[in-house]
Amino acid sequence: MLKQHQQLKFFPSMNNNYQGWQGDFDTVYFDRENIRNTLMNLNSPCYILNKEGQIGISNEGSLSYSANGKTQKLEMLLTVPPIRFDQLGDPGFLEFYNVKYAYMTGAMAQGIASEEMVITLGKANILSSFGAGGLSPTRIEAAIHKIQQALHNKSYAFNLLHSPSEPAIEKRLIDLYLQHQVRIIEASAFLDLSDNIVYYRAAGLSLNSANEIEIKNKIIAKVSRREVATKFLQPAPTKILTQLAEQGLITELQANLAAKIPMADDITVEADSGGHTDNRPLVCLLPSVLELRDEIQGKYDYEKPVRIGVAGGISTPQSALAALMMGAAYIVTGSINQSCVEAGTSEYTKKLLSEAEMTDVMMAPAADMFEMGVKLQVLKRGTLFPLRAQKLWELYRNYNSFAEIPPDEMEKLEKQILRKTVAEIWQETSTYLSQRNPEKLSKAANNPQLKMALIFRWYLGLSSRWSNTGEKGREIDYQIWCGPAMGSFNNWVRGSYLADINNRRVVDVADQIMTGAAYLYRIQNLKIQGLQMPEEYSQYHPQSRLG
């Protein structure tokens, strides 16, 4: 064992003026294990004490006003108070959603953020958003019933994935949310406000008995651009509110109230993440949106300013604490939850995710915005999807129709990637579109390049479902949305019980990240006051379950 003076050192500032400490000698520790345990006791204060040149630590005792800060041969060097989880992030977030952490799990489309995930987290008083994107209204309605039945008065959210090319689908989803009184939605992929999201927001407005605006329909908007954040930070556009009132969808009172509040209660600034992402660095994006929020708040003087949270890259206590110390009101995890027991992904996919390094990701063409060249971030380890998807984009960009594609390229396309003939896939696509979007089917009949895009979207769309359901024989084509946070998480939990995917449970992950963030906050507090310690105390690893 190291001697104590090799473990902890103290370098006081010129202005330090410490009180004394009064307590039992037996509660002061100088050995490595008890120092660690004392630091980890977050519910109690930490007293750093000097005994004849040896620096020890205690959770017990109290401050006294003895001369020169010395009591019974013990000199009080510094102290830090207890730390509560409601001190991390914005306490308004905790109160608004009735949760215990400034932490939520974001929606992952096609039910990857499953009912089980939302319910498990909800029962633990942690906010979670169901991944409604890409699911049928019938499937989403079933999820609403299941989650509401399980959670009762607990908080939960449902995703609203913007569908600019299919507004009827978005409208159907809003109608479902209003019909079943889904009170929190996580709005994502919006480039501009739609009539539908404004309708949802305004339809939940009223005045309470104190003549104050009551907001029943809460919106958490996920954005990665300042111009989009601006739209959610401001009130709903007057033009849309007027139209909704004229259509009888909202009352004149609701239209007037909507003009006095922001479109969103919370805005999640999304940095480099899995799935759709602009790959923005968090350290640049968050301060910019915080400054924008303050500017717009100064203009409108809302009673409750919009809170700004962060997503993208949050997967360890260090990244969580960094975001919170930069001013984030709350943090959102995404990629890492896919490898948890409750996620709606296959065991094969969870195993691939658990083995990922930070560099095992790349950008690939997106199914929903294929023709626009929009890309999303996916796992490249253990799958050829990103390379094959890129090949489809190159064919689409270089040729106007399948007739122009060279025969050898067509053979590779049908046998290696699609594994079906183009004619067979078009038959399936036609059947699907005839029910869901007959107008697009009609356009494709006279537009061979659009037909090509729709057939390629068949592969791009199904590849993510194959990953979720564990489609046998298609493992090499799995599309797995993933950001570098996954690799960072795997590095952090290596050697701990969370390294095994069978032990990865979403509540455990949340507890460990938030506990670790609180612990690291305490360590930094001690360091900034002059205490130097070995790096072993500056790390937090999930060695065992909490609670």
What torsion do the CA atoms of 518, 154, 328, 308 make, to the nearest 10 degrees?
Answer: 180
pLDDT of 330 above 70: yes
Token digits of residue 283? 């350290």
Once rounded to an integer, what is the mean pLDDT over residues 41-62? 92
pLDDT of 348 above 60: yes
Per-residue confidence (pLDDT) for residue 547, from 0 to 100: 59
Residue 63 sits at φ, ψ, to 5 deg, of: -75, 145
Per-residue confidence (pLDDT) for residue 5, from 0 to 100: 39
Q: How far is CA 14 from the centre of its chain?
A: 43
Once rounded to an integer, what is the mean pLDDT over residues 151-156? 94
pLDDT of 408 above 60: yes
Per-residue confidence (pLDDT) for residue 535, from 0 to 100: 87
pLDDT of 398 above 90: yes
Return the beta strands (E) in 211-330 as ranges: 213-215, 218-223, 266-270, 275-276, 307-311
Residues near 12 by Cβ (< 8 Å), separated by ≥ 6?
77, 530
Per-residue confidence (pLDDT) for residue 72, from 0 to 100: 59
pLDDT band for position 2 (cuts 50, 70, 90): very low
Give the pLDDT confidence of 221-239 residue by residue, as tens digits: 999 999 999 999 999 999 9
b/e string for 497-529 if b means 16 or more Cβ within 10 A? ebeebeebbbbbbbbbbbbbbbbbbbbebbeeb
pLDDT of 36 above 50: yes
Of 70-84, 118-132, 207-221, 244-258, the poorest mean pLDDT is in: 70-84
pLDDT band for position 49 (cuts 50, 70, 90): very high
pLDDT of 8 above 80: no
Q: How far apart are CA 207 and CA 254, in angstroms?
A: 9
Among residues 361, 391, 323, 408, the alpha carbon closest in space to that of 103 is found at: 323
